[in-house]
Amino acid sequence: MSDPATGKDIAFPRHPLPSQFCNLERLLDAMEARGLDGIVATTPLNVFYLSGFNGIGHKSDEPRPYAVIISRHAPEHPILVIADYYLSTFLIQPTWIEDIRPFRAVMMGLDLTPKPEDIDRFMPAAGTNPDWLARARSNYTFDMTSNVQGALKALGLTRGTVAFDDMAFGFRLGLEDAEVRDGYDAMMAARAIKTGAELALIERATALNQRAIERTVASWDKGASWRDINQAYHQATTELGGFIHDPGAMVWGHPRGADPIVTLQTGLEDFEVEPGTHILFDCHGTLDLYCWDGGKSWVVGGEPNTQAKSHATVVKEVAQTLIDAMRPGVRISELQTLGREVYRKCGAPEPDGALIFFHGLGLSHMDLEMTTADGHPNGDWALAENMVVPLHLLYPGGECERIWLEEVVVVTASGGRPLFSWGLDPFIAA
């Protein structure tokens, strides 16, 4: 597919997503384990996760003109409450939610008396309306609060225990006979275990990241600055069809000289990327709102020196051992202990100085419960099948010795399945 403006190929074009890709069964189990009768999602990523809706116009800290409401006792009848101007979105991006209830929102003037016909300007011409759209028209209200309250009443959730991923929204509803709970962990318990559709989306995002990094490495020429490299990566991702976020996609800083300090970049650094420098690609971005992450060391302009080559060999051994061990039930502390044992076995001079860490990946770089259903902190969490877990290995050193590897791994019963196809060795491309 080509971009009509530039004529360049878009390797990862956007398509409508499946009408349902959330792990609903897992969510219902998480609700039952926590004694929740219902859950109300209003944060953008959770609404997207449950409905497929990705709004174009709102930022994270603005009032959210949408909500997904699910009853554990009637999971086949979810309700989506949404601003009237977003209603036509579902003519293009389908959703499994058939009960969509619009409300009169900010585009309609306060100087005009609200009337049921206001919804008409956001609906297609007569004769092309699907059944769900006709039902949406009949459920049109003039404000979000009464719409959500009506949806809760329809699902029998004005009593009992209802969780909100934004508890402040729940309290503002004034539900006198319902107990408002925090829904964060129930949502994350579901998001932690990926459906097949989600795995496909994450694999696609990872492939875009790999392609963008490869393009960036190939674009380097002597005299290029760190900001040139950042710009090359940003340009590659957008040309391929992805999205990055301010202040940038590349996470690690690159201190000069022999200092082994570990730093993150601020977007303000700049220096000439000289031959022999180790650039650490840890890149963040999204495609279809699913995150990509990761990368590895790039030895600029040629081969690593003798010491760095030794470090890279050890990091590769640690990575392969840990990937093989990434099976359901294994805890993060156990993986870290195992990795450090491999460092020691291989004779690495500073095994305790090496960083070995993990997190979930999906719609965020967490997708993990902070607290389990039994109330325990989930710091030393256990892997589960179909989790996506990036493995991070940083062996610190100066600008020509440090070695970085981040592999994105799908947890399976037979061990981890890496999503990058380029192997575990550093880039040595000129």
| CA distance between the termini of the chain | 30
- State whether 277 and 357 are in the same domain: yes
Answer yes or no: is 151 within a domain.
yes
Q: How confident is the model at residue 62 (pLDDT cuts 50, 70, 90)?
A: confident
Mean pLDDT across 209-229 = 95
Q: In whole angstroms, what is the distance from residue 100 CA to residue 135 CA? A: 8
- State whether 229 and 185 are in the same domain: no
Calculate the average pLDDT of the chain: 94
Answer yes or no: is 8 within a domain.
no
- State whether 147 and 231 are in the same domain: no
- State whether 328 and 264 are in the same domain: yes
- State whether 152 and 238 are in the same domain: no
- State whether 180 and 307 are in the same domain: no
With a cut of 80, say whether residue 84 has pLDDT above it.
yes
Answer yes or no: is 389 within a domain.
yes
With a cut of 90, say whether residue 184 has pLDDT above it.
yes
Domain CATH code at residue 168: 3.40.350.10
- State whether 85 and 65 are in the same domain: yes
Q: In whole angstroms, what is the distance from residue 151 CA to residue 153 CA? A: 5
Final residue belonging to a domain, choices 192, 213, 242: 192
With a cut of 90, say whether residue 3 has pLDDT above it.
no
Final residue belonging to a domain, choices 166, 192, 218: 192
Mean pLDDT across 4-27 = 83
Please state whether the peptide bond connecting residue 63 to the residue before it is cis, i.e. omega within 30 degrees of 0: no
- State whether 132 and 275 are in the same domain: no
Residue 4: what pLDDT? 43
Q: In whole angstroms, what is the distance from residue 384 CA to residue 349 CA? A: 33
- Number of domains composing the chain: 2
Which residues span the domain enclosing 411?
196-418
Q: In whole angstroms, what is the distance from residue 179 CA to residue 405 CA? A: 46
Long-range contacts of 262-268 (CB under 8 A, 24+ apart): 262/355, 262/394, 262/396
- State whether 387 and 255 are in the same domain: yes
Answer yes or no: is 297 within a domain.
yes
With a cut of 50, say whether residue 223 has pLDDT above it.
yes
Burial of 131 (0-12, 13-18, 19+ CB in 10 A): exposed
- State whether 249 and 261 are in the same domain: yes
One-character DSSP codes across 341-394: HHHHHTT-S-GGGSEEEE---SSSS--S-SB-TTS-B-SSPBP-TT-EEEEEEE
Mean pLDDT across 317-342 = 98
Q: In whole angstroms, what is the distance from residue 104 CA to residue 31 CA? A: 31
Instruction: For residue range 267-317, list pLDDT tens digits in order.
Output: 999 999 999 999 999 999 999 999 999 999 999 988 899 999 999 999 999
Answer yes or no: is 156 within a domain.
yes
Domain CATH code at residue 321: 3.90.230.10
Answer yes or no: is 428 within a domain.
no
Instruction: Enter the tokens of residue 369.
Output: 């419960």
- State whether 139 and 188 are in the same domain: yes
Tell me how crowded residue 106 is: count the other CB atoms within 10 A of its CB. Answer: 12
- State whether 237 and 183 are in the same domain: no
Final residue belonging to a domain, choices 192, 226, 241: 192
Q: In whole angstroms, what is the distance from residue 163 CA to residue 40 CA? A: 6
Residue 59: what pLDDT? 80
Instruction: For residue range 100-155, list pLDDT tens digits in order.
Output: 999 999 989 889 999 999 999 998 876 667 889 989 999 999 999 999 999 999 99
With a cut of 50, say whether residue 48 has pLDDT above it.
yes
Answer yes or no: is 275 within a domain.
yes
Residue 429: what pLDDT? 66
Answer yes or no: is 327 within a domain.
yes
Q: Quick one: CA torsion of 168, 169, 174, 180, rounded to 10 degrees?
A: -70
